[in-house]
Amino acid sequence: MANDVENRIEELRGEIRVHDRLYYVLNKPEISDQQYDRLFSELKKLEDKNKELITPDSPTQRVSEKPVAGFDNVAHAVPMLSIDNTYNADELKAFDERVSKGLGDAEYEYAVELKIDGLAISLRYEHGALVRAATRGDGTTGDDVTANVRTIKAIPLRLLAKDVPDVLEVRGEVYMPKKAFAELNAQREENGEDFFANPRNAAAGSLKLLDPGMTAARKLSFFAYSTGEVSTPLAGGHYETLQKLKKLGLPVNAEIKKAKDIGEAVKICLGWDKKKTRLDYQIDGMVVKVNRFDSQDILGATGRAPRWCISYKFPAEQAETVVESIDVQVGKTGVLTPVANLKAVKLAGTVVKRASLHNFDELQRLGLKINDKVIIEKAGEIIPQVVRVIEHGEADMFAEEFKIPTKCPECDSEVIVSERKRAGKKEDIENKSEYTHTHKCVNPECTAIIRERIIYFAGKGQMDIENVGPALIDQLIKAGMVKNIADLYSLEYARVSQLERMGEKSAANVLDSIEKSKTSPLWRLVVGLGISNVGGQLAETLANEFGTIDKLRNASEERLVEVDGIAETIAKNVCEFFNDETNKILVDELLKHVTPIAPKEKASSVLEGKTIVVTGTLESFTRQSIERAIKDNGGKTSSSVSKKTSFVVAGANAGSKLEKANKLGVQVISEEEFEKMIKGS
């Protein structure tokens, strides 16, 4: 019996590691998030009952329970060097001339890769297990950030292959994807916390948190781009080493290319400046490396940077404009945020008219006045922000001092200012003051707060209620028809159709959309409630785990932290939200109208282990929907027929794939037969 449990635990760990690799390294997930969660929670339950079987490299052990007191120093076995920068093709060619001279007559080729905007990290694996993770620091000594790095799911706690070197230091970049960066900054602004100017700062700030549970919530990821100390070299060149690292289970960026000469390398570099917006993470340039290690050794390094490697930095995408006025917005938590109205200007493909100034500390740090000429750029390629003032308004009469409001611009109640000491070391705080200030309206009746909450609830990333946008919400509030999100569900056609500029048809559309939202997926309702720090992804995690609002609202803090991905602070926020008397009434009221759909249990078993090819024209499925149905039922799709194909679903006018299936003796079924199969009849 004990052995059975032990075997099952090992089997589950193995499966989870395989799926982590498929997801993070190969970018080809084979199971749904829910199926993954199921494996994970089975393992967690078995380990909870058999604590003596828990090992540090188990996928359940990524988040250590205790916050760390600080970070120890780590001396790097091999120094972590920096890279020299170039800014144009001529400088890249000059680099190539130095390389050519240094290598004499020898032939050489380059590896060209993306320069990820994140933070350099060194991962030390001993006998295949991750034993330490350190930041670059000054290149010789860094901070031990092992507890935090272990929470990054893209980083394997154990390498996959058996024949790994005894010691393998993997170096690479920890980064925050653009979407996570934008979501984090929106939350921070709302909480009156500091804004991260770029993904690099966000990654660094997240790795310096003292609570690994909070780092886990930051959605960091990782790409390996070189090695440090290695007991047995993996290959003779850089490109080949990275491919080996990939085989060991480490994520390596897929865009790496070999270039036979600098002309080819330059072309690749310049090409990415135009394509970079397609990526879901930010890059700030390219890195060109002489590929072979023996050539690298001949070239050596200056004190700071290797002579075999160079970066090509993209020109910063900035624009010059004028701040015409400054508005103060009240967010859904009551935090006041200054927003600059700009003279419209084109920046990185869009016309920008407004830029958030984040908070009043930032406004003071910039020394910004109305009518100032400023430089703007997009943080994380998405959020327009003022970087610096280049010139105050022409004459004193134009340069207007902006006064921080002491009254809420919406309801005129007293603004409450709270002061917090900034966390982190002095050097991390850069040129910011030691304290941060949050300016807040705390009037629960403030119409701005009510408005923002309802707008958020109805918004695309939440309940996604079509036709219910800011303009209508303003009208409804003004007419006294809604005071909170639940009131949306008591709206009557007769009154809605009486609103200004609202025809009968529009009123019907509005009510129709609201009606439809009553059966939204549960996660949408959870995120729409606006619980502090609970964004879309955490809401999905909570919905998958608890299945109903009632189960979620009754969950204790202890129960919530048991859920993978839910940090203590988040668990606290959730409990506080549902224990608040006003919220209790609000949720009760909502549940009188809304019956959110529980996460669908997927019929995982029917097609488990089957590889299916779909061909021809189908009647009741689109290509996408049949592929989803196959996946939802545990199967895999493939685009070509082989002996390994389990069966082919053939619609009308099927051609060569059907022929091949017949030739290989692969089973062919019709669309109806497939439907019966997944319906289990």
List residues binding ligand IVH (CB under 6 A): 81-83, 113, 115-116, 120, 136, 173, 225-226, 287, 306, 309, 311
CB-nearer residue toward ligand IVH: 226 or 462: 226
In the three-class reduction of DSSP (H, G, I as helix; E, B as strand; rest coil), residue 636 is classed as strand
DSSP secondary structure code for residue 204 in this structure: H
Least Å from the CB of residue 126 to ligand IVH: 22
φ/ψ of 191, rounded to 5, equals: -85, 0
Minimal CB distance to ligand IVH: which residue? 120
Active-site residue, 369 included? no
Radius of gyration (Cα) for the chain, nearest Å? 28
Least Å from the CB of residue 103 to ligand IVH: 18
Least Å from the CB of residue 244 to ligand IVH: 16
In the three-class reduction of DSSP (H, G, I as helix; E, B as strand; rest coil), residue 57 is classed as coil
* Rounded CA separation 207/194 (Å): 16
Catalytic site residue from 115, 219, 631, 657: 115
CB-nearer residue toward ligand IVH: 27 or 302: 302
CA diameter of the chain: 86
Contact 308, 81 (CB under 8 A): no
Least Å from the CB of residue 236 to ligand IVH: 18
* Rounded CA separation 260/651 (Å): 47
Please state the three-class secondary structure of 258-327 as a single string.
Answer: EECCHHHHHHHHHHHHHHHHHCCCCEEEEEEEECEHHHHHHHCECCCCECCEEEEECCCCEEEEEEEEEE
CB-nearer residue toward ligand IVH: 136 or 524: 136
Least Å from the CB of residue 25 to ligand IVH: 16
Looking from the CA of 103 toward its CB, the CA atoms found within 13 Å total: 21
CB-nearer residue toward ligand IVH: 315 or 665: 315
Least Å from the CB of residue 279 to ligand IVH: 13
Give the burial string for 555-593 (b: 16+ CB within 10 Å, else e): beeebbbbbbbbbbebbebbbebbeeeebeebbebbbee
* Rounded CA separation 342/324 (Å): 5
Least Å from the CB of residue 347 to ligand IVH: 24
DSSP H or E segment with residue 543: helix 536-546
**Cα 126 from chain centroid (whole Å):** 29
Cβ contacts of 209 within 8 Å, gap of 6 or more: 148, 215, 218
Least Å from the CB of residue 88 to ligand IVH: 17
* Rounded CA separation 671/652 (Å): 10
Cβ contacts of 4 within 8 Å, gap of 6 or more: none
CB-nearer residue toward ligand IVH: 146 or 296: 296
CB-nearer residue toward ligand IVH: 173 or 377: 173
Question: Any idea which residues carry the catalytic annotation?
Answer: 115
